[in-house]
Amino acid sequence: MRDLGALIDERLAFSNHIQDKINKVDAMLGVIKRNFKYLQLSSIILLYKNMVRSHLDYCSSVWTPYTKGDIEDLEKVQKRATRLLLELKGFKYCDRLKACKLPTLHYRRLRGDMIETFKIVSGKYDSCAAPILTGLQA
């Protein structure tokens, strides 16, 4: 079943959704690799953030992976993307991330969860827009 773009199976697991996203992102990486091979580092990072990472971030607070395999599969996407950069070809993954000023995808999901939790706890959501959340405040 698909709801708001997230694919959910009968066990309420998101492994199929994660694999679907990985396949879509691999296609985007292929487009970037074929068509934008000799761009500068900043241009490739901008393409990655807009064409690839946006797919991995969309609705991630709903389908956040919890199994080690799913987390590693998603992180492999960013590893492949940073390997496209000719200037950073021989660097380790963590060094490529530092050079690109990119956090890991796992860190981005955790940060997003913390921001949403802060908004709920501190009452930042509009009570008209999110009436269910206002009942959580005591």
| pLDDT tens digits along 45-75 | 999 999 999 888 877 777 777 788 888 998 9
Other CB atoms within a 10 A radius of the CB of residue 137 amount to 11
- Encoded tokens for 1: 């079943």
Q: In total, how many domains does the chain have? A: 1
| pLDDT tens digits along 98-107 | 999 999 999 9
- Domain hosting 44: range is 2-134
Asked if 104 contacts 112 with a C-beta cutoff of 8 angstroms, the reply is no
What is the DSSP code (8-state) at residue 38? T
Asked if 64 contacts 113 with a C-beta cutoff of 8 angstroms, the reply is yes
Q: Is the pLDDT of residue 31 over 80?
A: yes
